[in-house]
Structure 1
Amino acid sequence: MLAKLLLITTTTLLSEVGPSSAETDATALLWEHYLRPQIMWPALPDDAIADLAMLPAVPAVDTDVLALGTRLFHDPQLSSTGDVSCASCHQAAHAFADPQEVSSGSQGAMGKRNAPALVNTRLWRHFFWDGRSPDLVHQAAIPLADPVEMANSTDAVVNYVGNAESYRQLWRSAYADQAVEWRLIAAAIAEFEQQLQSPPNRLDQFLLAIKQQQWQQAKASLTDQELMGLDIFRGKAGCIKCHNGPLLSDQQFHNTGLHYYGRFYEDLGRFEVTANAHDMGKFRTPSLRQLRDTAPYMHNGLFPHLGGIVNMYSHGGARPQPREPLPTPIYYPQTSDLLVPFRLSEEERRALLAFLQML
């Protein structure tokens, strides 16, 4: 009887001390797979076009143009009613994103999309969720003129900046004797936005240590749980197929099934730019950097927590069907074939979330 009690007590103590030898062996093997040059890591899914990457360094900026752009970005007088600035929807505390589900503009007018983060903008090839702008200078005029955002005009802003005493010295320092014009105002705002960069996270530290073959430093950069999450992100869950490169975005447009076609919240995304039926419901892949700061998530701010997104993707994304049969010529938005259902254990789910929250 005493021996039996000792055996039970010993087994209980061992279970409380830490993981089993099998779990320890599996973790050690996983580290072995990743503590090597990145080209030798476990293979990516067939549809993945790139692997994870560090952010490049921020290039030098023109400090005088930057000072002007900083003031313009934060100035509510650029809106017609003087109550909304660029910073109203792109808040510094939230990686220059909006913590509201959908952003509000002049006199409280509500838009239909969540304002995306403005960090790392110099790396993007398209702007807005639907990619309607090719660069930041072009982008600057769109919210300015939108009646539910700043409800103003470029001419009015040129007139305001050209006559405001508070801008006189800033303009002279930035552009010397050049006349005030919208092109230069937009360039100054873009200069401010282009120097906004996410701070290096522990994934960046891990990738740098791997590149330098500093294996101990690499191992110290991630926890065992986060490494498991990284492996699931690159493999079983297939997140890497769309979230890769330094932005953790492929910069492409995909349909995840959240278009609400034919419903009150309908938003057809990229289709509104291209008028191509096959672009219905497609939105630009968001960056996954600073996820802790940029909730709520998705183009419509639908998800307040990352767990809900993992649940949706584990089912292969949203798969809505038309409420009634459509005539043959009418195209119904199709959820991307890149989204494939996957099954995670509770341990794996926690690991994936830990990795995402670390980004």
Structure 2
Amino acid sequence: MKRYALILGILILAACGRAGEGTYELDAAYTYLGADFPLEPPLDYSSTAPDYITRDNRLDGDVDNRKATLGRVLFYDKQLSLNNSIACGSCHIQAHAFGDSSQQSIGLDGGLTSRQSMRLVNTRFAALPAMFWDRRAINLRNQVTQPIEDHIEMGFSGTGDQPGFDSLLTKLQGLQYYSELFDWAFEQEGTTINKQRIAQALEHFVSSIESFDSRFDEGFAAAGDIQGSYSNFTPAENRGKFLFRAQPQLDNQNVRISGGAGCAGCHRPPEFDIDPMSGNNGVDKEAGNPAGFDTTNTRSPSLRDIFGPDGSVNTPMMHTGNFLEFTTIVEHYNEVIPDVNNRTVDERLVRGLTSVKLELTSTERADLEAFIRTLTGSNMYSDERWSTPF
């Protein structure tokens, strides 16, 4: 431990190449922090979202390349945890659309989070700025430092025997590379490292993560809307698209007699973000606690990139992480069972104490999954801008 602390204490940021090139790397002898990335010019973090993507909840316009670069370092640096074991990128993994492949994320000393870590892809492109499953953070900038201050996740909670956020600031101020990077990112020598600037840099980085190179995007761009058949889709994918977007026609017993499944009522294309007016989805248990009751979860990540490029599910689904296959998602929504203790369930799923019964056939269920698979992109999973610099 003493040797490890000493190594961290003597890390230096060295300029490489000709003067003015501005490429910085940490001393190669220190493999843990062997970062190597260009600073002049920085990588371009500007959005390439197509014109038909109109929802945008960023606080102050376009992403700043310098602040996003600093945010990238902060996002992947385990120094932001109390025992140097956890980074934001430990639970929000690029290979999984910036979600976690585990049902519950592992924090300090093996502690488990109470909810599944939400995928961060396309966080910016949603009408609802609030973050976390229960919307307790008013926006992304408010959210990004909360895991750092969580007693289970990263440990600078200020509760019990854990130090508070000020201790993290002291820690980062002692790392020479952060003095250099904060000065560079905020374009002022002697920039103070504080919570506000950490949040701002992380928010610029996370809000830059996007995925718009899917087969759906190809079809939408060619057709101009979501209504008709897409020439690049299979018949099953087009049928699934209809089921997704069309509202169900119900009889007086709330049984579907025609139409679609109405998924687009809550998950609105082409962003596939959650309708801000959505109630909870009837999954009322706490993660890892079948007896626990939790009906505050009314937010959802974008439905884009539920599946990875290899065809497998990127992360367990729902706030509980109990849904490991997409088929179980469809089964759940096929008929959400009413619960007298759940009074905030979305009325599109349960009306009074009567379920909306979609009665999807096995073919329709397969068609819906086929459509959801068209929402998967490819570039996000390998783009250097969002990969670890360490």
TM (norm. structure 2) is 0.67
Aligned to 1:93: 95
Aligned to 1:78: 80
TM-superposition CA deviations, 1:64-107 (whole Å, max 9, x none): 21211100000011011110000011000011011111111111
Measured in 2, the distance between the counterparts of 1:287 and 1:318 equals: 24
1:174 and 1:245 map into 2 onto residues whose CA distance is 35
Displacement of 1:137: 1.7
Structure 2 vs 1, CA of residues 228 and 212 (structure 1 numbering), >3 Å: closer, same or farther?
closer
**Alignment equivalent of 2:276, drawn from 251, 267, 280:** 251
Corresponding residue for 2:304?
289
Deviations 1:244-299 (A, max 9, x none): 144312134422222139x75424243xxxxxxxxxxx421332110103321101
**1:28-39 residue pairs with structure 2 within 5 A?**
none
Q: Distance in 2 between matches of 1:212 and 1:307?
A: 27
User: Pairwise mapping of residues 317-332 of structure 1 onto structure 2 (< 5 A)?
Assistant: 317-321=336-340, 332=342
Amino acid at match of 2:300: T
Question: Which structure has the greater CA radius of gyration?
Answer: 1
Q: In structure 1, what is the Cα distance between the partners aligned to 2:326 and 2:144?
A: 30
Change beyond 3 A, Cα 1:190–1:115 = same
Aligned-partner residue type, residue 300 of structure 1 = T
C-alpha separation in 1, matches of 2:194 and 2:300? 34
In 1: Cα distance, 2:293 partner to 2:135 partner: 14
Deviations 1:166-207, CA, capped at 9 Å, x for gaps: 222211211222222110111011111010001321222222
SS in structure 2 opposite 1:148?
Answer: coil
Tell me if structure 1 keeps the 8 A contact 2:284–2:342.
no
1:55 aligns with one of 53, 56, 64: 53
What secondary structure is seen at the aligned counterpart in 1 of 2:231?
helix
User: Mean alpha-carbon deviation: is it higher for 224-233 or for 165-174?
Assistant: 165-174
Which residue of structure 2 aligns with residue 268 of structure 1? 294
The equivalent residue for 1:351 is 367
User: CA contact under 8 A between 1:122 and 1:194: conserved in structure 2?
Assistant: yes
The DSSP-based 3-state class of the residue aligned with 1:222 is coil
Distance 1:265 1:85, change over 3 A: farther
SS at match of 2:147: helix
SS in structure 1 of the partner of residue 168 of structure 2: helix
3-state DSSP class of the match of 2:267?
coil
Distance (Å, rounded) in 2 between the aligned partners of 1:90 and 1:76: 13
Q: Read off the aligned partner of 2:82 and give its amino acid letter.
A: S
Contact between 2:285 and 2:320, CA under 8 Å: does it hold in 1? Answer: no
Give the direction of change, closer, same or farther, for the CA distance of 1:335–1:64 in structure 2 (3 Å limit). Answer: closer
Structure 1 gaps of 5+ residues are 1-52, 271-281, 322-330
Within 2, Cα distance between the matches of 1:89 and 1:118? 11
The structural deviation recorded for 1:309 is 1.0
Q: Does 2:132 correspond to 1:107?
A: no
Cα distance in 1 for residues equivalent to 2:193 and 2:300: 36
* Greater strand proportion: 2
Q: Specify whether residues 309 and 57 from structure 1 end up closer, same or farther in structure 2 by C-alpha distance, changes over 3 A only.
A: closer
**Residues 96, 117 of structure 1: 8 Å contact kept:** yes
Identity of aligned residues (%): 30
8 Å Cα contact 1:54/1:245 also seen in 2: no
Post-superposition offset of 1:341: 1.2
Flag the 1:259–1:121 CA change in 2: closer, same or farther, 3 A.
same
Q: CA 1:54–1:200 in structure 2 vs 1: closer, same or farther (change >3 Å)?
A: farther
Q: Does the 8 A contact of 1:255 with 1:335 survive in 2? A: yes
The amino acid that maps onto 1:290 is D
Offset of 1:134 from its aligned partner? 1.4
CA distance in 2, matches of 1:118, 1:306: 19
Q: TM-score, normalised by structure 1?
A: 0.72
Tell me the CA shift for residue 163 of structure 1. 1.6
Q: Is the contact made by 1:55 and 1:204 (CA closer than 8 Å) also made in structure 2?
A: no
Bigger mean CA deviation after superposition, 251-260 or 347-356: 251-260
Q: Does 1:337 align with 2:353?
A: no
Given residue 335 of structure 1, which amino acid in structure 2 is its aligned partner? V
Of 192, 196, 206, the residue aligned with 2:209 is: 196
**Residue equivalent to 1:187:** 200
| 3-state DSSP of counterpart to 1:300 | coil
Residues of 1 paired with 2:69 and 2:232: CA distance?
Answer: 36
Q: 2:331 maps to which residue?
A: 311
Task: Find the aligned partners of 2:367 and 2:374 in 1 and give their Cα distance.
Answer: 11
* Counterpart pick for 1:237 among 261, 276, 281: 261
- Aligned pair in 2 of structure 1 residues 309, 54: CA closer, same or farther (>3 Å)? farther
Residue aligning to 2:118:
116
Residues 337 and 68 (structure 1), Cα distance of their counterparts in 2 relative to 1, 3 Å cut: same
